[in-house]
Chains A and B, each alone.
With several copies, the nearest count.
Chain A
Amino acid sequence: MVQSVVPEIIKESVVNLIQKGERADGRALDQYREISLETGVIKKAEGSARVKIGKTQIVVGAKPQIGEPFPDTPNVGVLITNSELLPMAAPNFEAGPPNETSVELARVTDRCIREGEVIDLEKLVIIPGKKVWMIFLDLHIVDYDGNLMDAAALGSLAALMNTKIPSTTIEGDEVVIDYEKMVPIPIKEQPLMCTLAKIGGELVADPSLEEDDVLDARISIGLRVDGSVCAMQKGGSVPLTREEVLKAIKIAQEKTKELRKSIPKA
């Protein structure tokens, strides 16, 4: 579990500050921490990015591989998203198979990328029903300082926009792969995710580690460029009201516009 045990007294001081409209690190309630984004950081990966939101740091690598399409979707390529909450990233992360937090992170990121239609998967078909490109997207979380969801979505988008695959031609029965002609994978959309935490009855953007530990509820919202919703996930053990959900979408629509500035031009 990511959530660690926090003394009640810390929780109180975080809540009190937020109810006064302030935050421990001096940010406004709807303000993100500093974001940094580099792409192409791993030469051995066909696409990569290193993203930092505050001190949270994720290295994302994308590797294409030729494989068979799923039987029920013979005419689209395959995207496989995987995440590892490395034991290096926090004192309470453990080595071993992905735990539920890690699985949720990978699946929500995957939904944001997939339903947000980042990749034109139909263009990844080499031979319909038989050979397609599979893109393995691996999220390597190396430092955990809160708000993994937004960092994962941003890093994944950047890594995919950075990804190149070799061009292929079909000669007779054979697929010929030319590693000297690398072409970018077809990018259709650029969805991003914005996470808001409900603390002391308020919604605050980009929860820090301290806020993550004391929050009542979390809502992560994936949005396309036009502000339409492509993914959503509530977390935490306190409910949200209908109005809080709708308010969260409005805030997220504003904040993703800002976040979008960190994306390098394709």
Chain B
Amino acid sequence: MIIILTSKLIKNSNKGSLVTSGTKKRPDGRAFDEMRHLKIEAGVLERADGSSYVEIGDNKVLAAVYGPRELYVRRLLKPNMAILRCRYNMAPFSVEDRKRPGPDRRSIEISKITAEALNPAVFLEKFPRSTIDVFIEVLQAEGGTRCAGITAASVALADAGIPMRDMVAACAAGKSEGQVVMDLSEWEDKEGEADLPIAMMPRTGDITLLQMDGHLTSDEFEKALDLAIKGCQIISEEQKNAIKNRYGD
């Protein structure tokens, strides 16, 4: 017996159903260098030392920070600096088909590269023999959750009062329907030709995360990189506003 999903495909490709032929507009109506709706809030949780909530398009992400604090597994501690640990996790209900709880290979990789993306910004040497724990929960996923998670984590670190060189901002660019575009939607990520998520410290332009998969010529890569950098700058402004809204100037 076979189960036929009458209109599941149609349902899933809603974001793609608005294809406007003959124009430069994207399936969801954005220009190639236009970001999705963006909302960032700081200080949204009670217990965490710092927290934040980020919406980018239909992505909904919470981040919480605990620390600097002592860890009981002493052999993991470093004598001259704090270690920053990160756990990226997706809620079972955050995606179309329920995700089994617990880490999988994707979340293990993203946790690792998120920690590496945040590391350069934090003055870890100020807190020897301690840990700073960053927890990222994806409540709803719609393409670009790793960038949303890094963006949220930076705001949570700032909300926790942890001294940083800059707030790391993250944004992807990529290629979809032959066009290099900023901030890929879920549909563009799945159906598109390439995805290039980056994270950076906007003040200096230093890139702290860089991944790519797909197919880009050198020229397209450079164009995409510049779009992603521009995206990070836009996001950076919203991060600063979120901190201002919470603490004033």
Residues on B with C-beta less than 8 A from A237 are 116, 119-120
**Contacting residue for B109 out of A84, A107, A177, A178, CB 8 A:** A107
Total interface residues in chain A, CB < 8 Å: 75
- Of chain A, the residue at the smallest CB distance from B224 is A229
B38 interface residue, CB < 8 Å from A?
no
In the assembled complex, how far is the CB of residue A174 from the closest CB belonging to chain B, in whole angstroms? Answer: 5
A104 at the interface (CB under 8 A from B): yes
- Beyond A104-B112, A144-B47, A232-B211, is A239–B221 a contact (Cβ under 8 Å)? no
Residues of B with C-beta under 8 A to A234: 113, 116, 207-211
Q: Point out the residues of chain A lying under 8 angstroms from B22, CB to CB.
A: none
CB < 8 Å neighbour of B93 from A45, A55, A66: A45
Q: Scan residues 190-226 of chain B and give those whose CB is less than 8 A from a CB of chain A.
A: 194, 196, 200-201, 204-218, 221-222, 225-226
A10 at the A/B interface (Cβ < 8 Å)?
no
With contacts A63-B92, A104-B112, A179-B11 taken as known, whether A229 is within 8 angstroms of B216 at the C-beta atoms is yes
Inter-chain CA distance A98–B51, complex, in Å, is 23
Q: Is the interface of B mostly helix, strand, loop or mixed?
A: mixed
Task: Find out whether the CB atom of A88 lies under 8 angstroms from the CB atom of B137.
Answer: yes
Contacting residue for B206 out of A55, A143, A239, CB 8 A: A239
Tell me if A179 and B6 are in contact (CB < 8 A): yes
Q: Is A238 an interface residue (CB 8 A)?
A: yes
For residue B222, give the distance in angstroms from its CB to the closest CB of chain A: 6
- Cβ contact within 8 Å between B98 and A63: yes
B149 to chain A, nearest CB (A): 12
- CA A242 to CA B201, docked complex, whole Å: 12
Q: How far is the CB of B118 from chain A (nearest CB, A)?
A: 9
Q: Is B62 an interface position by the 8 A CB rule?
A: yes
A69 on interface, CB distance cutoff 8 Å:
no
Contacts of B218 in A (CB 8 A): 227-229, 249-250, 253
> B residues within 8 A CB of A230?
213-215
Closest to A239 in B: B206
Chain B residues in the interface with A (C-beta under 8 A): 1-8, 10-11, 45-48, 51, 58, 60, 62-64, 66, 69, 87, 89, 91-98, 101-102, 105-106, 108-109, 111-113, 116, 119-120, 133, 135, 137, 139-142, 194, 196, 200-201, 204-218, 221-222, 225-226, 229
Extra A-B contacts (17), CB below 8 Å, given A91-B66, A250-B218: A42-B60, A44-B58, A44-B94, A61-B93, A88-B63, A115-B214, A127-B1, A138-B101, A179-B6, A179-B8, A179-B10, A233-B212, A237-B116, A237-B120, A242-B225, A246-B222, A246-B225
